[in-house]
């Protein structure tokens, strides 16, 4: 685990600062799936009390990033290949719907924000910083889902995206995936700006399908290697 990071006791409540930093460490690979999260070292890392760490762990448990195991404690959630396939199937349907609704409902300002978010993804992908890449893609999805104007879709995708965070690094770090992902996002934007609702839906579904395919291949390869 990385050395002491600490949190700034201003702006966001202390608990949320720890939540954000711990989430970033999990998504960024500082902790691997199945790793146990021990309170004392986390308190030292963030410079906070056990109460704050426990609250942060509960928050991330609700997001699906952490699992509490009886008589063992909190661990980073491990997703099986079957869990992952189910997750990406639901995500594909919901993001396809979000893309279609965005095209039908988004304001001109929101369309401009989506173009700007795509530019942000392109800039982030020129870096080798996984966290920067993931943050840029998060911004893109936030704009897309907000522009869809459907609170239920937003709520459901928020829960799915939280769990997908555990897996996205597997796809984005694969050779050639960043360029392919950027091209897929560009097709989403092109369809949305052309007011092609079906095209936007198909482009969103294809993006999720390709990412899910790569993640599943990686998980199955890792499982096969562990079994051999």
In angstroms, the CA 28 to CA 22 distance is 10
pLDDT band at 228 (very low <50, low <70, confident <90, very high): very low
Residue of higher predicted confidence among 226 and 17? 17
pLDDT of residue 57: 96
Residue of higher predicted confidence among 187 and 134? 187
pLDDT band at 10 (very low <50, low <70, confident <90, very high): very low
Residue of higher predicted confidence among 159 and 73? 73
Q: Which whole number is the average pLDDT over 142-163?
A: 94
Residue of higher predicted confidence among 73 and 225? 73
**Mean pLDDT over each residue of the chain, to the nearest integer:** 89
pLDDT of residue 51: 94
Percent of the chain with pLDDT over 90: 64
pLDDT at 196 over 90: yes
Q: Which whole number is the average pLDDT over 23-46?
A: 90
Full set of structural domains in the chain with CATH: 14-76 (1.10.10.10), 81-227 (1.20.120.530)
Closest by CA to 143, choosing from 114, 118, 122, 121, is: 114
pLDDT of residue 164: 85
pLDDT of residue 32: 85
E strand or H helix at 66, and its extent?
Answer: strand 66-69
For 90-148, write each residue's pLDDT tens digit: 999 999 999 999 999 999 999 999 999 999 999 999 988 888 998 999 999 999 999 99
Distance from CA of residue 137 to its chain's centroid? 8
pLDDT of residue 59: 93
Pairing mode, if any, of strands 73-76 and 66-69?
antiparallel
Partners of 216 in beta bridges: none
pLDDT of residue 99: 99
pLDDT of residue 64: 86
Residue pair 48/18 in contact by the 8 Å Cβ criterion: yes
């Amino acid at each position: 685990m990385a050395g002491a990071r600490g949190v700034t006791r201003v702006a966001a409540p202390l608990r949320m600062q720890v939540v954000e930093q711990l989430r970033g460490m999990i998504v960024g690979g500082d902790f691997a799936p199945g790793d146990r999260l021990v309170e004392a070292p986390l308190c030292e890392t963030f410079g906070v009390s056990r109460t704050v760490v426990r609250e942060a762990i509960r928050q991330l448990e609700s997001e699906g990033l952490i699992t509490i195991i009886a008589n063992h404690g909190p661990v980073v959630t491990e997703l099986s290949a079957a869990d992952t396939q189910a997750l990406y199937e639901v995500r594909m349907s919901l993001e396809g719907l979000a893309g279609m609704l965005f095209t039908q409902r988004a304001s001109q300002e929101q369309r401009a924000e989506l173009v700007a978010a795509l530019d942000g993804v392109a800039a982030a992908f020129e870096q080798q910083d996984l966290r920067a890449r993931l943050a840029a893609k998060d911004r893109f999805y936030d704009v897309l889902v907000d522009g869809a104007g459907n609170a239920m879709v937003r709520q459901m995708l928020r829960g799915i995206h939280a769990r997908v965070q555990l897996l996205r690094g597997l796809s984005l770090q694969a050779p050639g995936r960043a360029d392919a992902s950027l091209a897929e996002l560009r097709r989403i934007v092109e369809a949305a700006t052309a007011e092609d609702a079906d095209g936007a839906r198909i482009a969103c579904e294809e993006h999720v399908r390709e990412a899910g395919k790569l993640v599943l291949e990686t998980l199955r390869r890792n499982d096969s290697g562990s079994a051999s």
